[in-house]
Amino acid sequence: MNLGVNIDHVATIRNARGENDPSVTAAAHICELSGADGITVHLREDRRHIKEKDLYLLKDVLRIPLNLEMALNDDVLSHALKVKPRMVTLVPERREEVTTEGGLDIIKNKEKTKEYTRILTENNILVSLFIEANLELESVIEEIKAQFVEIHTGYYSHVYYDEYKKKKELERFERFTQMCKNSGVRVNAGHGLNYQNVMEITQIEGIEELNIGHSIISRAVFSGLEAAVIEMKGLISGG
Question: For the chain, which domains are there?
Answer: 2-238 (3.20.20.70)
Q: Which of 69, 132, 169, 209 is catalytic?
A: 69
pLDDT of residue 111: 97
**DSSP three-state, residue 232:** helix
pLDDT of residue 93: 80
pLDDT of residue 45: 92
Please give the annotated binding residues, written as ranges.
Answer: 6, 8-9, 17, 44, 49, 99, 192, 213-214
pLDDT of residue 81: 98
pLDDT of residue 179: 98
pLDDT of residue 95: 56
Q: Which of 32, 42, 93, 209 is catalytic?
A: 42
Q: From the first residue on, what is the mean pLDDT of each consecutive set of 10 residues in the chain (239 residues)?
A: 97 91 97 98 94 96 97 97 98 66 91 98 98 96 98 97 98 98 97 97 97 98 98 88
Q: What is the pTM of this model?
A: 0.95
Q: Return the closest-CA partner of residue 226 out of 237, 235, 212, 216.
A: 216
Contact by Cβ (8 Å): 115, 76: no
Is residue 161 exposed (0-12), middle (13-18) or buried (19+ Cβ within 10 Å)? exposed
Q: CA dihedral in degrees (20, 3, 236, 222; nearest 10)?
A: 0
pLDDT of residue 99: 55
pLDDT of residue 207: 98
Please give the annotated binding residues for 3-amino-2-oxopropyl phosphate, written as ranges.
Answer: 6, 17, 192, 213-214
Q: Which phi and psi angles does 191 have, rounded to 5°?
A: 110, 115
Q: Is 19 a catalytic residue?
A: no
Is residue 52 exposed (0-12), middle (13-18) or buried (19+ Cβ within 10 Å)? middle
Q: Is 174 a catalytic residue?
A: no
Please give the annotated binding residues for 1-deoxy-D-xylulose 5-phosphate, written as ranges.
Answer: 8-9, 44, 49, 99
Q: Which of 32, 93, 191, 209 is catalytic?
A: 191
Q: Is 152 a catalytic residue?
A: no
pLDDT of residue 112: 97
